[in-house]
Every structure is written in C-alpha cells, then in structure tokens.
Structure 1
Amino acid sequence: MKALAAAVFLVLVSPAAAVPPAVPFAPLQEADPFEGAWSPEALEQAAEPIIEAWRKGGPQAGDAALEVALARADGAPERARILTAYGVYLMVENTSEDLTIGSTLALPYMQRALDEGRSGFPADSRMLAVLLHDAATTEFMARGPDTSATAEAWLEEAHGIRRDRLGASHPETLSSLVKLAEIRGQPQRLENDPARIDAVSRLYERLLTAEPGEEGDLDYAFAGWMGFLVDARRPDEACAVLQKVNQQAERLRLNMDYIGFGLGEKLMEAGYEDRGKPLVMELDVLSFLTGGDRSGNPPRCGP
C-alpha cells in the first residue's frame, strides 16, 4: 500500500479467490512500513470480520464490530492498523469509477487511525508519515478542491518526516509532494493564476531528481505533471517536460509508452491535436500493454 488509492485499486483488480492466510501481528519494522502486519494482505485479514458485519447489518453493525476489535487491540499502533484496514476496505466495498462515496465513508476512520498513530508511533517515524499521507489522501478523494488546509499540513508533515529519514529524492518522500500538487492543482484553486500554476509545477519538478524505485512507481506521477500542464493550457511546457522525462527514463525505469500515450490523449482532448497526434499514432500497442519500450524511440510531441 504505497498510497491509499493504490491500495484500493490493488484490491479491486486482484482475484477474489481464497482469503489470504493469517499474518501474525508483530512490532513494526521501521525499515519498511508496508510489509508484515501493514501489508495489503494483512490489512484485508484485519478488516474482513468487521466488513462482514457491515455487509450483514449495515454501518451500525460494522461500527459495533470495529469497537470490539479496538477494545481487544494491544495498544495504539494496533488500533491504528485496525482503523486503517476498516477504512481502506470500506472504500473497496463502496467504490466505483468515482471514489467519492467510499472515501467519504472511510474518512472518519482514517482520521481516527492518525490520532492513534500520533500516540503510538514516534513523531519522526515512517509509519506516522504513512498515516498522515493516507488520511490526507482519503480527504482529497472525498472532498476534491474542498480539501482542508489541515490535510495539506498533514502531507507537509509526512513529507518532512520522509525527507529526514529517507532523503529528498526517495520515491516515498516525493509521493507526498505529488499529492500536494494534485490538491493544489485543482482548477477551482488555481483560478488561472500563473503564479499558482508555477508553484504547483515546481512541486512536480522535484520528480526529475528522484531515486529509482520499483518499476512503474513514478509513471503515474510524471503523467500527472504533464496532464496538469495541459489542463492549465500550457501544452508547450508539457511537451518540454516530456523531453526532460525522456532523459530520465532509463535511470528511473519509466514506461514511456504509457507516459507518452497519456500525454498525447490529453493534448488531443484539449484541442492540441497537432501536438498530441504523433504520441498516439507512434504507440506500439503490444509494447504498451506489456509495459515495454518503443524500441528505443523516445516519444515526442508534434510541432
């Protein structure tokens, strides 16, 4: 669960086969807060009996089962884990193409998880950063441009923790800046103000200094940066970013077919057909679907 939305979609596309085996709770390993008791499989295990009560008896029954589980929990870290699990799987149960409904239901539980985390984890721990990031992400999915200044402050706090513990260029650190950029880049917030657009783009720009992560980690973020610039009616800047990203593609193991095709579609939808058409026409569909390259040919916008 490297971001809350990613966790939700991971569950949605996974085969709904057997329930995963139990994962015993163990003290959090600071080295990786996404493994062990906090892995997607373990969170699903923790949520299942509470979600089953919710399915059978509705929100009141779900809340009753949740309170029983919390009363049995051994300390604040475990309560934070149970609340997180319930929040994530409320979204899974109530999601569609629009995550607003599920995230609205989940938000109070993610906020409670953060409260427990503040009392159960060190103030500079990666786990607290995860809870801060996830609570802010849930609020953004629920409220969009009406996301609160408090949620933005959570992301700034998460970014500070991750920067100090992992370094400014770690993908986990940059993920909090990208989420801030997504919130502040909402058209209702920008109001076509050039200074605000520039400020959001500068948040995204730090992606160019990223350390390599797992394959595919940064594809969505780079695509989001270029899509933001197209939406802001800055197609030339979006295409210039594409050229910079091409230079980082091998180092960061980026899927340039995905990134280039996404930009091409955005450009064409926005009326910049001459700029976007080559990106779409040059796509090797088979390569795109399998996550491959386009035989070394970097994607480029039209003139």
Structure 2
Amino acid sequence: MIFRHKQRPVDEITLADVQDVCSHLGAGGNGNVSKGSYHGRFVAVKRPNSAAHVQSFRTEINAMLTCASPYLVELLAIADRHSKTPALVLEYMDGGNLRTYLDKKKSGEKMSLNMTKLEVAWVVANALRDLHSMGFAHGDIKSLNVLVSSMGYIKVGDLGTARERATISTAVPGTLYWTAPEALRTDIPGRYGMEADVYAFGVLLTELDTLELPYYDQLSMTHHAFVNGVLDGSVRPTLRKNCEPWYQQLTEQCLLANPNARPTAAKIVEVLQTHVAAAVASKDVCTCSSPVHIRTSM
C-alpha cells in the first residue's frame, strides 16, 4: 500500500523564479497560500501573513527541512529564505482538504476519488510517526490539514505549528475541537507535544468514521461546559453505533485524558498495519501506491 519515494533536494530560489503567483488558495495561522508555477508544474506558495509571523514561518521551514517524509506535503523550494519575506514553494494538492472531501461524501456527491477511513488513518499515522521519530510534534492535526491530490494520494500539510520536543511548550494549541486536555489546562500550565498529536489523531478518527465534524451531536454546549468536559473526560467526539470494535478501541485509547496512557504514533501504525494487511488481502485497498494511492471510480 505504501511506496516510500525518494525526496528531491530543496531548491533555494527567489520568488521571481515562481511564475503566475496569483489565485489565492487559503490562509492559515501564520501564512497565506497562493497558486503558482515552478519548473512547469503547479505549486502552492506560502508566505507569512505579517512581519509578526516571520519567526514562526522560519520554524516551519526548519521543520519541513528536517522532517522530509513521503506522508507530508513536499517542500520543493524556499524563496528569499534569508529575507524579511521568505516563502515556501510546496507540492500542490489540487483535491482540497479532507474536511471538504468528507462533507461531499456525506452529502452523497459523486466523486472521482474513493478513500477509505483506513487509508486516510494510515497516511496520517505514518506522518506522525515520521515527525515524532525526528523529534517534532505537528501541533495542528485536523481534517483541514490533510490534503488530497486528484492523482489519488493524500498527505499531511501545514507544519506551521510544528515544534521540536526540546521546545514544545504552552504555545497556542490548534483548533479547539482537536485540542488535547493538557493543552487546555489553565490552572496548571504545562508542556504538551507528541501525545497531543495522538489525541488530535483520535478526534480525526471520529471524523473519518462519521463523516461529521467532531462533536456534531453536542453543539448545544457552552464553550465553558465543553472545555470542562474535555478536561474531565466526560466530553469526547462520538463514533457511529456500528463502528468496528477495533477502530472504536483505538480511538478511545487515543482520546484518553492521561497523555502518557495514549499509544505512540509508532504503536498506532502497528495496529493499523494488521488491518491494512487484511484489507489488501481482501482487495479493499489499492496496493500500488505513491505514497498512498486511492482507488479511482470508473
């Protein structure tokens, strides 16, 4: 199912080397993303939102250079690296994000790509395993940061909040629904990192199972009640009633309140591998992948 392709060297260029930087693709916490062309291929060009975001942007550059992985959106070039306005030239994922895909699937819209929840979980878990093995936490795992290519593969993007283990602290955590309890603590501020990625992965597993946003059935709660419920373990996103027992068990383990009791990303990959092997044997997944190839509807 997985093909680990060799990463290309990262070019150092000027932004003038990228052609047709125009259409706006989106914005994140620390950067704006536009579409462009580089060496004859479409690319995504990410630039800092403002001067205040340049330092966090440089952190993202460092994370991407250190953590090259076939499960992460590829960094092709760095433009104007040492200037006040550096830019990342990234692999262009033309299929949008996973959240958009799940919404379309939920509505019954006909799509050319057919992704199983196991395939998506496999990619994200491997991305986390690779990041964590290199000493980095992603910091913002959610469906909006899992990207899709019309060529039939998916990757994890947006390392804007990635941090090395030595520097992981109480920086502003990712989007609330995916935020681990330890990152919400205000009474005893503490450090959080890789274990919080695993919690966010558990939330993502509920999205893959239900096709819904996390906590879609608990939206009547106040912000205060929600945060307190996450902290004391009484509030967690739900799965379908007929969810597979192994999938439910893995999700619940990832969502444990005690960060030290959650499985590591490597352990999650190990668990998923058993089910990937079974799916391949039954031909429920495609076996020719680059890095994960998704079946295309005829």
Provide the TM-score with structure 1 as the length reference: 0.27
Greater share of helix: 1
State the structure with bigger RCO (CA 8 A, min sep 6), 1 or 2: 2
Q: Please identify the structure whose Cα radius of gyration is greater.
A: 1
Greater share of strand: 2
